[in-house]
Structures are given as C-alpha cells and as structure tokens.
Structure 1
Amino acid sequence: MSAVPILEVENVSKRFGNFVALNNVSTRFEAGKLSAIIGPNGAGKSTFFNVVSGAFPPSAGTLKFQGRDITGTAQHEFARIGIAKSFQITTVFKQLSAHENVRVAAQMRSARYQLLTPRAKLTALSDRAHELLARVGLASLHDRTAADLAHGQQRALEVAMALASEPTLLLMDEPTAGMSPEETKVMMDLIVQLAAERSVIIVEHKMKLVMGICERLLVLHHGEFLAEGTPDEIRANTEVRRVYLGQG
C-alpha cells in the first residue's frame, strides 16, 4: 500500500445555506486503485464528487492530492496538477467531430495560452487525438459529428477528452448514466482497462454495477460517511444492507 494516498479527504463538510449536503466526511483513496463512491439517491455522492473535483470548495475540512493540500484550488488548476473528470451530463462539443473534440482537449493542455500553434505541433496533437479515440473504442468514428454519436459513444468521447490531460487521477460521475445494458458493459470494461494505468474513482448509485470491478468502496448516506471497505466487507455490513442493498 502506498504510504501517501492519491487523494485524502479530511473532515470535509459542504453546506448550501442551512442545508448540510456533506457532514464531516473523512476517507483516503490509495494510488493505483479502482474505487467507488456509492449510496442511494440523495446520499451526497454528487456533492462529494463536486468537492473532490474542485467544482465546489468545501465549507470545512481539507483535501490532499498526493500529500499536497489542494483545498480551495481553482477548478481549472485540477487538470494541471493531474486530476481529470467526466461528468454525469455529457460535456462534449456537439457540433465538432469526435477527432476535433479530443484534439481541442489535447491542445488546451499543451498550448493553453499560445494563439498561433506551429503546424508540427498540430500534427502531433492530431496523432494524439487518434490515439485516444482508439483507446476508448472510437477510432472508426473519428470523423463523426459528436451530436450523431450514440449516448454511450458520447460518454466514451468525453473520457477520451479527459485522458488528453494525461491525468494521474480520473474521476467519473455516474459514467453509465442513461446507457443501455450493452453500452454499460462496454463502459465498465473501459473503466477496468483505464484503472490498470492510473487511479480511478467513480461515483455510482448502482451498487451491483461496481461490486464486481472495484477494489474499495465508500458508502455515503444522507451526506455522512456510512462505511468503507472491500466489496465483500460492504456486502456483509449490516448498516449498508439496511439502508442500501434493498434499494439497489
């Protein structure tokens, strides 16, 4: 086990006015692991995702990435330090081709403030985009407009865009939302492959979906820490069974 976790959450709370969405949650995610944050609808999973991905600053508590305090770090800095994310709602450029979407994502990483990009670098970015599309199974659809892709293919395209930043940690919010069983199988297989190369944390409410692939699970309930452990430990946990397993 790595001495320094990839991500550490210490006593994190998030309030919206008088509403407490997260209450004093502490946990740590080890490097090189495929982990999941699970819980019934309304458990606080999306708020947790938004806090650890930099979208929401915590109201209290500390976030550490590879031992470095990143509490309050601007959201746009997360990709630069090695954290990428894909959202529950697909965020691709619908009017661009699959290849153009990934090339733009790669260009944002390599030339953030460079208005005039040399042709040689554009060629390298184009090659990188082709490589990432192949990585997520979209090589044959590189010229297809994103709007014309099936829902599962759009989600895969978003993953390719996230990978363009070459993240150490990939965060995925309900990656199979709205997918058919066939699309779900393809996405789960892709997640397992990606987790062989980097740390991956997924947020999911379908417990059965993650039980077979994740090494460690964190269970939230009403915005509070309920349990964490291996799939077998979570299955055997009386409190988890009471509040969750009957609903999944």
Structure 2
Amino acid sequence: MNASAILSTRNITKKFGGFTANKDVSVDFPKGKLTAIIGPNGAGKSTFFNMVSGSFAPTSGDILFDGKSVVGLKPHEFAKAGISKSFQITNLFPALTVLENVRVAVQSMHSAYDLWTPRSRRAEWVEQAERLLELVGLQDKRRERAENLAHGEQRSLEIAVALACDPKLLLLDEPTAGMSPEETRVIMDLILKLLEHRTVGLVEHKMKLVMGVSDNIIVLHHGELLAQGAPDEIRSNEEVKRVYLGKGNH
C-alpha cells in the first residue's frame, strides 16, 4: 500500500454471473485529498464505489484501509473502521426533522436506544447533531421536516448523516446530481471545507467541476482503470481524451 494513501485497491475484480463489472482495478486515495472517480456511462463507477464503500465484496483482489484489509467486513463495520458513504438516491427519514435525522445517525454509532439511556447521554447526541448541522450550514433548518428541504439542502443533510461516525474517509456518490449551479457551488464549498479534516472520494459527472476541485482523478472505462493522476495529467492524457473527454471538454 502506498504510504501516503488512506485507501488502496489491489487488482479488485467484481463479477455478476458471466458479466465482469470491474477488472483488476488498482488505485490509491491519497490522505487528506479529494479523489474523483469518473468515466463514461457503463464504465463501472457505481460497482467500484460499492466495493470501496463496503456494499459489495470484490470477487477477487484486496481493499486496504489504513494498511489493513477490509474485504469481508459488513457495511456497518466499514463505518466503524472510518469509511462513510452518501448515496446518489437520498437516504433520509422524510417525516423526521433535520435534527432528528442526524441525531438518529449519531445515536446509532454509540448504542441502541432504550428507556435506560441517561438523559445526559441523549443530550450529548443532540449536541453532536447540532454541531454537524452547523458544519453543513443547516442549523437554521433543524426543526424542519427533511421532506420539506430543497434538493441541495437534502444532500447537505445526507452529508451530515454520513459524518455522524466521524469518518476518516467520506465517499459521495454524485453529490451534485440534479442540482442548480448555485446548489452545486454550496455543496462543493462544503466538500472542500470537509477536506480540512478528512479524505473525500466522489463519483461525479460534471467534468469542469471535477477538474477544478480534485487532487486525484481515477478514470474507469469498460470496468478497467484507464488512468489515474492529477487533473493536468488526466486532461492531457490522449487515451482519456479519446474515450471520454471529447474535443469540446478539455
């Protein structure tokens, strides 16, 4: 494993019956940096994201986090290890308030809720949830029901929920999907702020945005690794230009 990487994949392959979604992908996510996963439709991005976030186990190969293999861990064990994820499809409790959504996530990382939980402990959970809402800019909406938030605000709330386990690595699946330019700016500002204390990996389709904010870019094509490097390296890579960027995008 690369010493500067928080997570590395080593020849990971994922097969579904006779179909190979990813084949022999070896990449690094450098510590404290933003890594973007890009590629055309059908490139294998979602399957790769699901493997590094613990939803799918690779058919073969290894995933190392902080130098230890995490292959075979259950999704909640990934969270306890320090890897948290936020999916493209909003995963919130719509009828609960903004604060309750985050408090439930905080509470789930500590213990099961029961009648004997001391009131002081419950107050700690609320305080932690309030801090996370402040971090993502939703403290003024904490009494609102989640279903009443604008799309961009719901994505910010999802990020707050994903931060409840205080992850070392935060993985985001298309965090700006369906957003207006203004909402996109707000989310990207938030993601860049989060980088001050953790590593971030994301799947993203907006090329201009990816090139502007990423430290490291992973390009997948037909389930295999096409290229990995800094934005300038990816921008000037002839293979990447040929299969993905197109003449108008670089």
- State the TM-score bracket (shorter-chain normalisation): over 0.9
Give secondary structure in 2 for the equivalent of 1:58: coil
- Which residue of 1 is the match for residue 170 of structure 2? 170
1:54 aligns with 2:54: yes
CA RMSD, 1 decimal: 1.3
CA distance, structure 1, for counterparts of residue 175 and residue 117 of structure 2: 33
- Which residue of 2 is the match for residue 123 of structure 1? 123
1:180 aligns with 2:148: no
Cα separation, partners in 2 of 1:15 and 1:202, compared to 1, 3 Å: same
- Which residue of 1 is the match for residue 10 of structure 2? 10
CA distance, structure 2, for counterparts of residue 18 and residue 174 of structure 1: 28
Q: Residue type matched to 1:35 in 2?
A: T
Q: What are the ranges of 5 or more consecutive residues in structure 2 without an aligned counterpart?
A: none
CA distance, structure 1, for counterparts of residue 117 and residue 211 of structure 2: 45
Give secondary structure in 2 for the equivalent of 1:212: helix
CA distance, structure 1, for counterparts of residue 71 and residue 115 of structure 2: 31
How far did 1:209 drift? 1.4
Q: TM-score, normalised by structure 2?
A: 0.96
1:152-185 deviations in whole A, cap 9, x for unaligned?
A: 1111001001111000110111101111111111
CA distance, structure 2, for counterparts of residue 112 and residue 9 of structure 1: 33
Q: Residue type matched to 1:79 in 2?
A: A
Give me the identity figure in percent: 57
- Which residue of 2 is the match for residue 214 of structure 1? 214
Point out the more displaced range, 107-116 or 162-171: 107-116
1:146 aligns with 2:146: yes
CA distance, structure 1, for counterparts of residue 89 and residue 143 of structure 2: 23
**Contact 1:136/1:160 (<8 A) preserved:** yes
CA distance, structure 1, for counterparts of residue 169 and residue 69 of structure 2: 15
How far did 1:4 drift? 5.0
- Which residue of 1 is the match for residue 44 of structure 2? 44
How far did 1:136 drift? 0.4
Q: Residue type matched to 1:239 in 2?
A: E
- Which residue of 1 is the match for residue 23 of structure 2? 23
1:5-58 deviations in whole A, cap 9, x for unaligned?
A: 210100001111111110111111111111111111111111100000110110
How far did 1:112 drift? 3.9
- Which residue of 2 is the match for residue 107 of structure 1? 107
**Contact 1:4/1:66 (<8 A) preserved:** no
**Contact 1:215/1:231 (<8 A) preserved:** yes
1:192-222 deviations in whole A, cap 9, x for unaligned?
A: 1111110111111222111111101010011
**Contact 2:107/2:113 (<8 A) preserved:** no
Q: Residue type matched to 2:195 in 1?
A: A
Give secondary structure in 1 for the equivalent of 2:201: strand
Give secondary structure in 2 for the equivalent of 1:102: helix
Give secondary structure in 2 for the equivalent of 1:6: strand
Give secondary structure in 2 for the equivalent of 1:10: strand
Point out the more displaced range, 32-41 or 141-150: 32-41
CA distance, structure 2, for counterparts of residue 19 and residue 69 of structure 1: 25
CA distance, structure 2, for counterparts of residue 196 and residue 13 of structure 1: 32
Q: Residue type matched to 1:181 in 2?
A: P
Task: Trace 1:72-87 onto structure 2 (pairs within 5 A).
Answer: 72-87=72-87
Paired residue total: 247
CA distance, structure 2, for counterparts of residue 72 and residue 133 of structure 1: 32
Point out the more displaced range, 96-105 or 206-215: 206-215
- Which residue of 1 is the match for residue 98 of structure 2? 98
Q: Residue type matched to 1:40 in 2?
A: P
- Which residue of 2 is the match for residue 200 of structure 1? 200
Give secondary structure in 2 for the equivalent of 1:15: strand
